[in-house]
Structures are given as C-alpha cells and as structure tokens.
C-alpha cells in the first residue's frame, strides 16, 4: 500500500509541475500520448483538485478516454524512503540483493518458518481476537485494522526473526511494538503528504529547527532505526556465540554477506565499513516489512467486502473451504476470488519507473530521459478491452478453467505483482498468507459489512478533513470496510 502512496503522490507532484511540463511538451511533438487537459497555464490542476478524493478513478477515466491507453505527465524522481534496500536499489546493488533474496524466498527453511509464524499469529492472536469480537454481539469490529496488525506482526517476525505484538489483537500487547507499528504508519503518512507539495522554505526551516512534521518524521524514523539496529546487534552477538542458522530474512542476509553464498560476499564487499553494512542491512529488513505490511491486509479486506456483497461467490467459497480441510493449495475458487478482488482493488494500484534515456513505448508514446513511465494496475483491472464487458463486476469464475482449476494470466495483463525482472518476490508467500487467513476466518465466522460502499470506486486514501490528532492515520484501501463477525 505505502509503495503505492509514494508513487501516487510523486505523480501528483508531477501533474502540478506545470511549467516544466509545458516546456517538455514543446520538445515532444512526435508523442502519441494523450494530453487530457492541455491547458498551457493550469494543466490538470483544477481537474486534479476536483477529483482528488477519487484520484484512481479519475486516472482510470483519463486512460479510458485515451486512444493509445497512455497519458502524458512529467516529474522529478520520487522521494527516497527506504534507503538502499531491494525496492530502491538499481544496477549491481539490486541484482546481488535480488539473487540473494530469491534464494531466501524459494528456500524450504523460509517457507516452513513462514508457515509456523502464520499459524502462531493466526491461532493465538487473530482468531481469538475475532472470537472475542463475535462474542460481544452487534458491536462490529474494524477488520481492516485487525488484518493490518496481524500482517505487520507476521512480516516483522519473518523479516527480523523476533515476535512482535503491535496489537490490540493480544491483551496488553507490548508498548514498544505498538510504537513501532505507529512509527511505520507515521513515517509513511508524513512522507506521503510531503510528496504532494514541493519542498518549501517552511519545510526546510522546520527540518532545520526539528519542529512540527519534520520532528514527527524524524522521531518515527528513529523508532524504526532503534528497533532495526537493536535486532541487528543482538543477532550479531548471538552469531558470535553460535551458528544458529536462523531462517528469518535478516539472519539469512547477515550470514550470506559474510560467506561465499549466493553472491552474498560480493554484496558484502560493496560496503566500505561495518557501519555502512549495518545501515544497509537495516534498509533491507525495513524494505521487507514495508513490502509485506499492508499489501496482504489490503487484499483481504477487499476480498471480505466483495464476498459479503456477492452471495453466489460467498456460497462457493464456503463450500470449497469446508470440503478442502487445511489444504489451501486445493482451494482454487478461493485463489480465484482473492485474485479477482486484487484485480478490482490492487494493493499497489499505481507504479512506475524513471527512464534513463529517451525511448518510445509500444503505443508510440515518447518517453524522455528522466520522465516517469507509470502504469496503473487499478485502471488496467477496470478496462473493458482487457477484461470484457463485465470488467466492473466481481467474477472469480473468470480465473477458472473447465475443470475448476485456477488459470493464471500474463503478468503484463494483470500487473498486480508487477512484471519482469523486478516482479514481486513475496507473491507466493502472500497467497499462502491470504488463503490461510481467509479460509480460517470463513470457516469460523460470517463477515457482514457494516457500511457498504455505494459503488465500485476506490474510497479516498486519506481524509483531508482530519484533525491534527488523527492526521497520521491513513484510512487505507478498504476505508470504511469495518465488518461484523458473527
Ligand atoms: C498481495 C500481496 C502483495 C502484492 C500485491 C505485492 C506487489 C508487489 C509489487 C507491485 C512489487 C513491485 C514494486 C516495484 O518494484 O515497484 C513488489 C515487489 C516486491 N515484493 Fe511484493 N507484493 C505483495 C506481497 C509481498 C510480500 C508478503 C512480500 C514479502 C516480504 C513481498 C516482497 C516483495 C519484494 C522483496 C519486492 C521487490 C522485488 C524487486 O524489486 O526486485 N511482497 N510487490
């Protein structure tokens, strides 16, 4: 989710960079990209303000109206949030990390560890929490919040190898862990809002004086750093005593960078001193937490919301889950329903890259050096040309073959996990988590949506009327999708 926020606001910033855009357009007479509001003075600004609460749907409308399926905007590079971790790195630093991480993600040890983490967090936290909510009767529960906390604790456990309890999911959850959860949210939220506007003198001043949001951002990053470094140091100390061979991601990276394993020593050699290496390891794990923190919970929240609104699909999922026992691999309809939920509401609705050199897209649209080439998985999931006339309907059956088996499609058609060499490494892990949680919840509870949305549009990602107290709270993907479990 947060990856999407950053990219979304980077784009927004671009749309507001009008003067630069005008200058660039003059150079690109050959582009076939659609320029939806070619007002040479105001560009898209008024339209953007009018549509800011339905940004993704506005963007989808613009793409639908473009004959080539592309629209034109320009921008500076996005704000850097996650240091030198896998997401932000390029070139050799990325390829060495990718190789190491690919081995880690495909290892049996990590899979087994992930399964154990999932089972523990599910049976000792999420389900008991929902049991208690259901026992209370009509009160309702913020299902999205519960799933986010579950997802956060689970990914922190897999990434750092330590048990987190961020949460209201456990009675008296640890204060430090709650602070870490809040720090991740606050850091991303403030960065997200900042990407909306260019850095003004006021922002520079608040940074210099360490006040206001600059201070809150610094404090949030400090909390994250303190946690990451303390885990790193204790793992380092433990390794000096024993060779534990712990399967979590951080331990694997630490071990590989000291050894001739999976190119890890080449990666280690890229850092001139222990301090730089320690900082890099911090970036690596923080990146993993960001990758897994809100993606699966967003997909699951929409899944439950869509299921509650579609009785036929709800019935089929229930039947399958009841018949398949604990074997999530055998649950093809569930797999299809989750995939279909992500088609309509992808956890990363918007993504892009910066062009290193002038290029021309297959559509004929010119892309200049330094421009962003963005795509919207949200808009693509709602295109009639790609998904047919029923593209706005929730139809899990579109993913099933004649024998009822799940049939995947090309990543270029369904870029929910990205495509190409940088395709998501946690896709399989994510599906296992989503299916395991969905099956367990479905088997035990009936989820009713308290306030159904009026249509299929994405609710706003942020409230703009929030007071200062609540300012750091992203409403997130499924906005008001609070559920009642019974
Ligand atoms: C529904 C769940 C998920 C979705 C929709 C999703 C989506 C994505 C997308 C769109 C990207 C490309 C980002 C970019 O390069 O701009 C990505 C990359 C990545 N994802 Fe996921 N993700 C999910 C779950 C996870 C989980 C649970 C993990 C585990 C930590 C994970 C790990 C990664 C990693 C490491 C990359 C970076 C790959 C690279 O740059 O080489 N993802 N994911």
Q: Cβ–Cβ contacts within 10 Å for residue 120, how many?
A: 14
The answer to whether residues 136 and 106 belong to one domain is yes
State the residue for tokens 């009327």.
465
- Residue 197 pLDDT exceeds 90: no
Residue nearest to atom 7 of ligand 1 (CA): 417
The CATH number linked to 180 is 1.10.630.10
Q: Of 293, 309, 333, which one is at a domain's C-terminal end?
A: 293
Ligand 1 center to residue 113 CA distance, Å? Answer: 19
Q: Is the model's pLDDT at 460 over the cut of 80?
A: no
Q: What angle do CA 348, 353, 358 make, to 5 degrees?
A: 155
Q: Tell me what pLDDT residue 118 has.
A: 95
Ligand 1 proximity of 476 Cβ (cutoff 6 Å): no
Domain identity same for 69 and 95: no
Q: Is residue 462 part of a domain?
A: no
Asked if 11 contacts 52 with a C-beta cutoff of 8 angstroms, the reply is no
Q: Are 117 and 71 members of one domain?
A: no
Residue 391 CA to ligand 1 center (angstroms) comes to: 25
Would you say residue 298 lies in a domain?
no
HSE, CB side, 13 Å, CA atoms: give it for residue 74. Answer: 22
424 annotated binding-site participant: yes
Taking only the tens place, the pLDDT of each residue in 255-284 is 888 776 556 678 888 888 888 989 999 998
In a domain, 485, yes or no: no
β-sheet bridge partners, residue 354? 372
- Give the highest mean pLDDT range of 151-165, 200-214, 400-414: 400-414
pLDDT in tens, 419-435: 999 999 999 999 999 99
Q: Does the structure show a pLDDT above 80 at 449? A: yes
Instruction: Assess whether 31 and 127 both reside in one domain.
Output: no
Using the atom order of ligand 1, give the atom closest to the CA of residue 421. 41
pLDDT digits (tens, 9 = 90+) for 73-83: 644 444 445 67
Atom of ligand 1 nearest to the CA of 351: 16
In a domain, 429, yes or no: no
Mean per-residue pLDDT over the chain, rounded: 81
Q: From ligand 1's centre to the CA of 280, what distance in Å?
A: 19
Structural domain contains residue 352? yes
User: Is there a contact between 90 and 254 (Cβ–Cβ < 8 Å)?
Assistant: no
* Domain edge (last residue) among 323, 355, 374: 374
Lowest-confidence region among 61-70, 238-247, 285-294: 238-247
97 lines ligand 1 (CB under 6 A): no
Same-domain status, 6 and 67 = yes
CB-ligand 1 contact for 416 (6 Å cutoff): yes
Task: Give the nearest ligand 1 atom to 98 CA.
Answer: 41
Into how many domains does the chain fold? 2
| Top mean-pLDDT range of 29-43, 72-86, 170-184 | 170-184
- The pLDDT, as a whole number, for residue 331 is 97
Check whether residue 219 and residue 103 sit in a common domain: yes
> In degrees to the nearest 10, what's the CA dihedral of 219, 222, 227, 231?
180
Domain identity same for 260 and 359: no
Q: How far is the CA of 281 from the centre of ligand 1 (A)?
A: 18
Residue 147 lies in a domain: yes
pLDDT score of 379? 96
CB of 351 shorter than 6 A to ligand 1: yes
Pocket test for ligand 1, best of 424, 432, 433 (most atoms within 8 A of CB): 424
Residue 152: pLDDT band (50, 70, 90) is very high
pLDDT tens for residues 323-377? 998 899 999 999 999 999 999 999 999 888 888 999 998 878 888 888 878 899 9
Residues 24 and 137 in one domain: no
Residue 472 belongs to a domain: no
Residue 200: predicted pLDDT: 73
From the CA of 158, give the closest atom in ligand 1. Answer: 30
Residue 364: predicted pLDDT: 83
Residues 59 and 192 in one domain: no
Indicate if 107 and 241 belong to the same structural domain.
Answer: yes
Within 13 Å of residue 389, how many CA atoms lie on the same side as its CB? 0
Ligand 1 atom nearest to CA at 289: 30
Q: Is 291 in the pocket of ligand 1 (CB under 6 A)?
A: yes
CA 448 from centre of chain: 25
Q: What distance in angstroms lies between residue 138's CA and the mean position of ligand 1's atoms?
A: 37
Q: Determine the Cα–Cα distance for residues 201 and 199; give it in Å rounded to an integer.
A: 7
Does the Cβ of 298 fall within 6 Å of ligand 1? no
155 confidence band (pLDDT: 50, 70, 90): very high
Ligand 1 in contact with 78 (CB < 6 A)?
A: no
Ligand 1 centroid, distance to 18 Cα (angstroms) = 32
Average pLDDT over residues 403-425: 96
For atom 31 of ligand 1, which residue has the closest CA? 426
Which domain does 178 fall in, by range? Answer: 91-293
pTM (predicted TM-score): 0.85
Q: Which of 127, 142, 136 is CA-nearest to residue 481?
A: 142
260 and 351: one domain? no
The verdict on residue 101 lying in a domain is: yes
Which one is predicted more confidently, 7 or 241? Answer: 241
Q: State what percent of residues in the chain have pLDDT above 70.
A: 77
Instruction: Judge if 194 and 112 occupy the same domain.
Output: yes
């Amino acid at each position: 989710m947060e990856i999407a926020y950053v990219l979304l606001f980077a784009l927004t910033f671009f749309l507001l960079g009008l003067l630069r855009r005008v200058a660039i357009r003059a150079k690109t007479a050959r582009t076939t990209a659609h320029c939806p509001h070619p007002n040479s003075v105001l560009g898209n600004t008024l339209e953007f303000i009018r549509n800011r609460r339905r940004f993704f749907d506005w963007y989808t409308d613009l793409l639908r109206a473009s004959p080539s399926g592309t629209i034109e905007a320009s921008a500076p590079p996005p704000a850097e949030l996650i240091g030198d971790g896998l997401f932000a790195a390029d070139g050799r630093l990325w390829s060495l990390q990718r190789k190491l991480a690919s081995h880690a993600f495909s290892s049996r040890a990590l899979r087994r560890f992930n399964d154990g983490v999932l089972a523990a967090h599910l049976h000792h936290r999420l389900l008991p929490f929902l049991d208690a909510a259901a026992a209370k009767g009509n009160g309702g529960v913020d299902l999205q919040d519960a799933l986010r906390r579950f997802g956060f604790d689970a990914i922190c456990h897999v990434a750092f190898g330590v048990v987190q309890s961020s949460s209201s999911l456990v009675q008296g959850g640890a204060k430090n862990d709650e602070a870490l959860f809040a720090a991740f949210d606050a850091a991303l939220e403030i960065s997200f809002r900042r990407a909306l506007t260019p850095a003004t003198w006021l922002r520079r001043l608040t940074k210099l004086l360490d006040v206001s949001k600059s201070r809150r951002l610094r404090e949030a990053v400090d909390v994250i750093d303190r946690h990451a470094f303390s885990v790193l140091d204790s793992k380092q100390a433990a390794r000096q005593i024993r060779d534990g061979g712990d399967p979590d991601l951080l331990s694997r990276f630490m071990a590989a960078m000291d050894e001739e394993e999976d190119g890890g020593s080449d990666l280690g050699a890229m850092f001139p001193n222990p301090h730089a290496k320690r900082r890099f390891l911090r970036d690596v794990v923080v990146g993993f937490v960001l990758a897994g923190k809100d993606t699966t919970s967003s997909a699951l929240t929409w899944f439950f919301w869509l299921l509650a609104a579609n009785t036929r699909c709800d019935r089929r999922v229930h039947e399958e889950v009841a018949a398949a026992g604990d074997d999530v691999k055998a649950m093809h309809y569930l797999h299809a329903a989750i995939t279909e939920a992500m088609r309509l509401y992808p956890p990363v609705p918007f993504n892009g890259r910066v062009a290193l050199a002038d290029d021309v897209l297959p559509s004929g649209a010119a892309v200049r050096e330094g421009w962003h080439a963005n795509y919207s998985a949200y808009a693509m999931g709602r295109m009639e040309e790609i998904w047919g006339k029923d593209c706005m309907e929730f139809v899990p059956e579109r993913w099933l073959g004649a024998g009822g088996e799940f049939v995947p499609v090309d990543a270029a058609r369904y870029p929910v996990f990205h495509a190409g060499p940088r395709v998501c490494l946690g896709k399989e892990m994510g599906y296992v988590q989503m299916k395991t949680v969905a099956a367990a919840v479905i088997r035990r509870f009936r989820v009713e949506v308290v306030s159904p949305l009026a249509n299929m549009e994405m609710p706003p990602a942020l409230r703009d009327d929030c007071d200062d107290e609540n300012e750091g709270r992203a409403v997130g993907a499924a906005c008001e999708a609070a559920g009642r479990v019974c």
